[in-house]
Structure 1
Amino acid sequence: MNRSIKKVAVLGSGIMGSRIACHFANVGCQVLLLDIVPKEITAAEAAKGLTLDSKVVRNRLVSEAFQNTLKANPAPLYSKTFASRITLGNFEDDFVKIKDYDWVIEVVVERLDVKKSIFEKVDTLRKPGTLVTSNTSGIPIHLMAEERSEDFRKNFCGTHFFNPPRYLKLLEIIPTPETDPEVIDFLMHYGDLYLGKTTVLAKDTPAFIANRVGIYALIQSIRATEKLGLSIEEVDKLTADIIGRPKSGTFRLSDVVGLDTTVHVANNLYQTLTEDESREAFLLPDSIQKLMENKWLGDKTGQGFYKKIKDEQGKSVILALDLKTFAYQPSQKIKLGIIDTLKKLPTLAERFPAALADTSKAGDFYRTTFADTFRYVTYRIPEIADELYKIDEAIKAGFGWQLGLFETWDAIGLAKGIELIESQGQKPADWVYAMRDAGHTQFYKIEKGRRFYYDWSSQNYQVIPGQEGFIILQNLRGSQEVWSNPEATIFDLGDGILGLEARSKMNTFGPHVIEALSKAISLAEQSYQGLVIGNDSHEAFSAGANLAMLFMYSIQQEWDEVNLMIAQFQKAMMRVRYSSVPVVVAPHTLALGGGCEINLHADRVVAAAETYMGLVEVGVGVIPAGGGTKEMALRCSDLYQSGDPELNILQNAFMNIATAKVSTSAQEALEMNYLRPGDQIVLNRSRLIAEAKEAALELANAGYTQAPQRSDIKVQGRAGIALFEAGIAQMRLANFISDHDKKIAQKLAYVICGGDLSYPQLVTEQYLLDLEREAFLSLCGERKTLERMQGLLTGGKPPRN
């Protein structure tokens, strides 16, 4: 059956339902969002003369839920305009409309009787072949399909999204024995390609894969915290990004998710897992029970493991719960020796052995929790998954871990992992011993650019399926490296396309990365068809220029060095624009400052949907000078024929730079003119490098020709400067900006308007590059600029001086 999904009906507008609806709107679907009709009218409605029959009353619950979702931070939509793709309704008046929809997703309360009654109604209205799925996190999928028609059962399964659906990548597909295999294949493909998800095929077991393992790990971390007498702040530090987990850590993450969610899943697991050898582990600690009794559920109730209050001066203060006294105390800034040790190690693979070797309580915590979770997942095969890589993929995509548990185990070695488990008085499953005795030393290995996993049933390695559509640079390391230096690597991506990967801190543009960029373009021009610039970093595509080096030169008043540094960066950006082969840039996560500018100069940008792009240089007291100001003047010039007043177009660009505005998605970057209509947005970031390579090939095969530098950029001169000066003066008068902000904004206005020209006229790119470099240099000589740079380098936040 040839399926296409254009219209999706979401039944239930709670936190998950509304956000799932938003994500389908993100990918271009028309969405119908339905919920129940209120049983009582409110006083406000009665005062307006409304009744229970009024449409606005009948849609009150769905409307309020949807409006609350639109106010959520982080935003569930790529663009606010996408809200128009969602139609609201109720189960009584609008349920019949589902007959025109391609996919019906149930997201109602977690009660089997309620779900079955909903599906009975769906079964009578849906067209044959319509997909029907449930987003349940705990109810067995097969029970919901009982008594339904044969066609319903063939086209029904579980599709378990994780909250928030836009940001967490996991989508578990849970078929029943009667689900048509074509439906399973379609959903695995659609979730990956169109929804941007890591789609994992799961078994219909309690909590499926990610929650089964993730909730177990969470509860065991809480037990270890209490047993070792650690504070919740200490454990959050130990379980955060230092070991490749979310920055929030264990307890802060629990507050964000909501403790009731954790408790619901854990209680359900304890009740249903009668055969699990670790069933008792899901009995909640007394501290959790007490939190539930107090209704201290986290952010949704205003307090949980943490609580935010206002002090006598009205300043926000974070309090942390003492698990011994159950009293809140001011949260402490944690200093742990192991954290400093781990920070010095650049990769996670190096950090885990060091963490386990630590002799303090922190080391005890790591040994206790890692040994227990390593052991636990070995017994979940084949119960929840036949293949170990599915467990790793699910926990990474569902809980935001950079490495799965078997990948983490590989970092210390198979034998040492077994020793660790045994040192805690436990044993892994028998298949792990068999694996070791057969001479195998790791769960994963890479051969010829492909990744393999150990298959317990065949006792051999099998290739991880579905890698054909992905290019993972880590898999190419060594075998397809063309050139490298300490901070960058050039890869042969195949088919005549090179790939350049930055590996500096936050992938900033220092001398090594600039050298590699020049080398990559030269090699591509000599022997290849094109170049892709991108990386697989979890932190950032690029956070911009090397600020530490710039600060050092500026504080020493080495102005020739600063001028040379900026001139070289400008030259590198112009080489990206004017090479003889196509250059495609593949940004993701943070693309700030110079990380934005390289995208502005690419032949094409293939951006991950979650790309946060902006020219943020004013935050450290300067203006964009790697061609960023020049490029925005150029792009505004190209828009002057659109019908909008020219100064309005220029003002939008000026304000984006002057306020250091960062897009909240690639879609918003497009609306800000940082991306262009010909650029591409990719939902699944894992496909980013592969899609960028295809774009480079497409440009090359179309007969790519190097363009001449532009000399037709229309600038506004004094007319534009006068407009901006008036606005800047008003903002200073109103105290919205400081004197130094005013000075930076005036420099920006001067450059983006083309300087002191008596009337609008055409200028060259080099003319604008010279203007922005001169302005940048002058601002580097300002004491308050140096204070901002120092603030960012030392404290992570520049002062507003």
Structure 2
Amino acid sequence: MNRSIRKVAVLGSGIMGSRIACHFANIGVEVLLLDIVPKDLTDAEKAKGITTDHPAFRNRIVNDSFQATLKATPASLYSPAFASRIKLGNFDDNLADIKNYDWVIEVVVERLDIKRSLYEKVDALRKPGTLVTSNTSGIPIHLMAEGRSEDFRKNFAGTHFFNPPRYLRLLEIIPTADTDESVVDFLMHYGELFLGKTTVLCKDTPGFIANRLGIYALIQTIRVAEEMGLSVDEVDKLTGPVAGRPKSGTYRLSDVVGLDTTVHVANNLYASGEGKDESRDAFVLPEIMQKLFDNKWLGDKTGQGFYKKIKDDKGKSVILALDFKTLEYVPSGKVKFETLEGTKNISDVYKRFGALVAGKDKAGEFYRKTFADVFKYATFRIPEISDEIFRIDQAITAGFGWQYGLFETWDAIGVKNMLAIMESLDLKPAAWVYEMLAAGNESFYKVEHGKRLYYDIPSKSYKRIPGQDSFILLSNLSNNIVWKNAGANLYDIGDGILNLEFKSKMNTMGSEVIEGIQKGIGLAEKDFRGLVIGNEAVEAFSAGANLAMLFMYAVEQEFDEINLVISQFQQTMMRARYSSVPVVVAPHTLALGGGCELTLHADKVVAHAETYIGLVEFGVGLIPAGGGTKEMALRCSDMYQAGDPELNILQNAFMNIAQAKVSTSAYEAKAMNYLQDKDQIVLNRSRLIAEAKQAAIDLAENGYTQPKPRHDIKVQGKTGIALFLAGITQMRLANYISDHDAKIAGKLAYVINGGDLSYPQLVSEQYLIDLEREAFLSLCGEKKTLERMQGLLNGGKPPRN
């Protein structure tokens, strides 16, 4: 059947239910969120005269849950306005409404009897063909569908979202033997395209894929750390970004998730593993986890776990770590290992793994033991939980935020090299690994003709990973590099389109990146029909200009050099705006300062939904001078219409820059005018470059014409400056800002209003970027600006001087 999802009903409004509802609202779906009716009136309700028939009483649980979700951080909605897409109700009064909904998602308490009772009602009320799925993480999917109608069972499956659904990319799809194949195909496609997920097909086994392996890895890591006498701080350092994993590491992750949740999953996996899992005993809790659980030190939800936050004598928040020997909380110490010191210069995590396991100190021993153990476990889970290695890696990376999956990490170390380590620790993998090597296949993955292949165990051959046709992965296109320098690569991505990838630290925009932009535009104008500027970096699309270089010039008072650097940067941004071929920018994660300015000058932006974009120069004592201030003045000018309060429009842009405000999503970036109606928002990060490429093709094929520089930007002159300065003075008198803040804000007001003009008039882009550069140079000579720059470069926050 031809399915279209316009309305989704979510049954259960707890943390997961409300957040799932929010994510469907994020993509424009109409959502019905239901929960049970309370048993009794509260004293507050009685005092107000509310009866048990009143909607305020009957919807109290769903209302309270939903409001808690709206107040929580990080936000579950891309924009607060999207909350209007969610209608609230209760099972008694509103369950019958599901007959008008295309998809029913159950997210109630993890009890089979309760779920079955609810499904009996749903089966009687739903239209034939309506999708019904469960978000369960601990109950076998097939058990919930027992006794239901044939149509229900054909359209029923597990859809296991990871929490929080907006941010974690994994969506596990778990069919039963009765699930129609077309339903599975639809869920896999819909989750990937519309919800922006990495959809992983799972078998109906305990913990599915991600939790089965992720919880195993977490518990075994804690067990090894306990045996080796490693501290909380040391383990979280070793299992954080240095190993391509989130900053939370191991113990902090447990605190965030909640130790009770981890214990619940571990107990389920132990109970269900009898006779099926050779490593079942690994799910028995290590002693320290059992102690914390018994003490109800469950993490953030109870105020303490492996960490505890307190206030010191000065009222400053301090995070303490648990000492396992004394069960007391102690100040976090500085972590230093010879192995980590030796890998500091290896910026590529993939290339770092080999050095980590080769370490001669405790860190190297820790990596060898933990990697070997989880690699071994994963090999024995095939074909139990998955037939293919790539699904295991996709689940781990998308569900737990690891940069590389288990088999990818093993490849990075070298399969034979790691196998020798495993054998030395008496942790031999499954027989199929030896068979793979014996046949001359020395890696789990390889790339051929720009496509990634995985080793298929049943056929003992390599097969293409399905679904790649929707993606362009630069990591697979090393043979397509047409030019490169130390900070950038240019790829031919086909169909006459070039892609420029930054590869500096945090993708900051130094001289090599600027050269790359200029070279990319030049080559595209000569031999191609469009340029995409996009990359696959984890941390940032671009964190802005190279502040270290600028600080060096400013300290030495090399103002001619600064002027030259800023002038080149401005010219590069203007060249991106006025090239003879379309330039499409594909930002994601952080697009700050110069990264934002590059985005502002694109012919079109194709942004990932999780793009945090802003002009943040004010924080280090400067104003945007890569065309950012100019561009906001231009965009405000284009918004002016007869009768509009023009200064109000301009003030919004001024305040966004003066507060160094960063959008919390690409949708908020639209509201802030950093993205425009012509720009596109993509939910699936893996599709970003492919979608940007298509946008460049569309612009080229629809008759792209080189734009002309603008001379019609309306600025306010002295009128606007006076108004803004009055506000700045009031803020200073109220001690909301410092003297230096006031000076920077005054410079910004001067530039964004077009300088000291007697009356509002039209000016050119060049006029405004000259004002930008002049103001920027003057601020580089300020001692307090240098102090702010130095504060940030030293790894802290800029002082509020």
The offset of 1:9, in angstroms, is 0.4
Q: SS state of the match for residue 249, structure 1?
A: coil
1:41-83 deviation line (CA, Å, top 9, x unaligned): 1111111111222210111111111111011111100001001
Tell me what 2:57 maps to.
Answer: 57
Distance 1:107 1:323 in 2: 37
Distance in 1 between residues matched to 2:343 and 2:114, nearest whole Å: 50
Equivalences for 1:73-112 in 2 at 5 Å? 73-112=73-112
**What are structure 2's unaligned runs of at least 5 residues?**
none
* In 1: Cα distance, 2:672 partner to 2:643 partner: 17
Task: Please report how far the alpha carbon of residue 487 of structure 1 lies from its aligned counterpart in structure 2 after TM superposition.
Answer: 1.1
Partner Cα separation in structure 2 for residue 731 and residue 220 of structure 1: 54
Distance 2:471 2:608 in 1: 14
- Cα deviation for residue 358 of structure 1 reads 1.2
Report the secondary structure of 1:624's partner residue: coil
Give the equivalent residue in structure 2 for 1:469.
470
2:688 partner amino acid: L
Q: What is the match of residue 219 of structure 1?
A: 219
Structure 1 pair 38/697, CA: closer, same or farther in 2 (3 Å)?
Answer: same
- Going from structure 1 to structure 2, the CA distance change for 1:614 and 1:642 (only over 3 Å counts) comes to farther
Aligned to 2:566: 566
Question: Which whole-Å CA distance do the structure 1 matches of 2:638 and 2:705 have between them?
Answer: 20
1:533-682 aligned within 5 A: 533-641=533-641, 644-682=644-682
Q: How does 1:364-375 map to 2 (within 5 A)?
A: 364-375=365-376
Report the AA paired with residue 794 of structure 2: T
* 1:35–1:642 Cα change, 3 Å: farther
The aligned counterpart of 1:460 is 461
Report how far residue 334 of structure 1 moved.
2.2
Partner of 1:151: 151
1:431 Cα deviation after fit? 0.2
TM-score (norm. length: structure 2): 0.99
Instruction: Note the C-alpha offset of 1:628.
Output: 0.1
Q: Tell me the equivalent position of 1:334.
A: 335
Q: 1:522 matched to which residue of 2?
A: 522
Show the counterpart of 1:8.
8
Report the Cα distance in structure 2 between the residues aligned to 1:482 and 1:567, rounded to whole angstroms: 27
- Aligned partner letter, 2:423: E
Cα offset, 1:336, TM superposition: 2.8
Shift of 1:385: 0.5
**SS of residue in 2 equivalent to 1:392:** helix
Report the Cα distance in structure 1 between the residues aligned to 2:643 and 2:636, rounded to whole angstroms: 12
Find the counterpart in structure 2 of residue 208 from structure 1: 208
Instruction: Tell me which amino acid in the other structure corresponds to 2:714.
Output: K
For the 8 Å contact 2:231–2:323, the answer to whether it is kept is yes
Matches within 5 A, 1:723-742: 723-742=723-742
Residue 383 (structure 2) pairs with residue 382 (structure 1) = yes
Q: Which residue of 2 aligns with 1:800?
A: 800
* CA shift for structure 1 position 642: 7.7
CA distance, structure 2, for counterparts of residue 485 and residue 75 of structure 1: 39
Contact 2:260 2:298 in 1 (8 A): yes
CA separation of 1:182 and 1:642: change in aligned 2, threshold 3 A = farther
TM-score (norm 1): 0.99
Q: How far did 1:286 drift?
A: 2.0
Aligned twin of 2:191: 191
Name the SS for the 1:94 alignment partner: helix
Supply the distance in 2 between the matched residues of 1:773 and 1:41 (Cα, whole angstroms). Answer: 65
Where 2:122 maps in the other structure, the secondary structure is helix
Partner Cα distance (2:644, 2:687) in 1: 37
Counterpart code for 1:626:
G
1:116, CA displacement in angstroms? 0.5
Partner of 1:435: 436
Q: Matched residues in 2 for 1:416 and 1:497: separation?
A: 40
Please list, as runs of the form range in 1=range in 2, the aligned pairs for 1:479-494 lying within 5 A after superposition. 479-494=479-494
Q: Which amino acid aligns with 1:794?
A: N
What is the Cα deviation at residue 338 of structure 1?
A: 2.5
Partner of residue 320, structure 1: 321
Number of aligned residue pairs: give it: 800
**Displacement of 1:795:** 2.1
* Pair 1:495 & 2:495 matched: yes
Please give the alpha-carbon distance, in whole angstroms, between the structure 1 residues aligned to 2:641 and 2:145: 58
Query: What is aligned with 2:447?
Result: 446
- Deviation sequence 1:296-328 (CA, Å, 0-9, x none): 111111111111111232221111111222111
CA distance in 1, matches of 2:32, 2:288: 42
Question: Residues 157 and 684 (structure 1 numbering): CA distance in 2 closer, same or farther, change over 3 Å?
Answer: same
Q: Deviations over 1:195-226 (max 9, x none)?
A: 00000000000010000000000000110111
The Cα offsets for residues 702-721 of structure 1, whole Å up to 9 and x where unpaired, read as 00000110000000111111
Q: What SS does the aligned partner of 1:494 have?
A: coil
Contact 2:337 2:361 in 1 (8 A): no
Residues 203-258 of structure 1 deviation map (CA, whole Å, 9 limit, x = unaligned): 00001000000000000011011100000111000000111100111000111111
- In structure 1, C-alpha distance between the alignment counterparts of 2:641 and 2:685, rounded to whole Å: 35
Between the aligned partners of 1:402 and 1:344, the Cα distance in structure 2 is 18
Q: Which runs of 4+ in 1 moved over 3 A?
A: none
2:485 & 2:353 partners in 1: Cα distance? Answer: 26
2 CA distance for matches of 1:315 and 1:503? 37
Report the AA paired with residue 80 of structure 2: K
User: Equivalent residue for 2:420?
Assistant: 419
Q: Which residue of 2 aligns with 1:353?
A: 354
Q: Quick one: distance in 1 between partners of 2:80 and 2:584? A: 28
Counterparts of 1:132-143 in structure 2 under 5 Å?
A: 132-143=132-143
Q: What is the RMSD computed on CA atoms of the aligned residues?
A: 0.9
SS of structure 2 residue aligned to 1:491: strand
Once residues 349 and 92 of structure 1 are traced to their aligned partners in structure 2, the CA distance between those partners, rounded to angstroms, is: 54
Say which SS state the counterpart of residue 346 (structure 1) adopts.
coil
Amino acid at match of 2:231: S
Opposite residue 768 of structure 2, the aligned amino acid is L
The alignment partner of 2:553 has SS state of helix
**2:364 partner amino acid:** G
Partner SS for 2:540: coil
- For 2:245 and 2:642, the matched residues in 1 are separated by 46
Distance 1:779 1:724 in 2: 19
> Distance in 2 between the 1:310 and 1:54 partners?
44
User: Identity over the aligned pairs, expressed in percent?
Assistant: 72
Q: In structure 1, how many angstroms separate the alpha carbons of the residues matched to 2:577 and 2:537?
A: 24
Deviation per residue, 1:534-575 (Å, 9 max, x gap): 000001000011111111111101110000000000000000
SS at match of 1:137: coil
Q: What is the 5 A alignment of 1:297-316?
A: 297-316=298-317
- CA positional deviation for 1:643: 5.7
Contact 2:310 2:317 in 1 (8 A): yes
What is the CA-CA distance between 1:584 and the residue it aligns to? 0.2
In 2, Cα distance between equivalents of 1:242 and 1:412: 15
Deviation at 1:796, TM superposition (A): 3.4
- Structure 1, unaligned stretches of length 5 or more? none
Alpha-carbon shift at residue 351 of structure 1 (Å)? 1.2
- Residue pair 2:728, 2:745 contacting (<8 A) in 1 also: yes
Q: Alpha-carbon deviation of 1:421?
A: 1.0
- 1:293 is displaced (CA, Å) by 1.6
SS in 1 for 2:116: helix
CA distance in 2, matches of 1:335, 1:285: 25
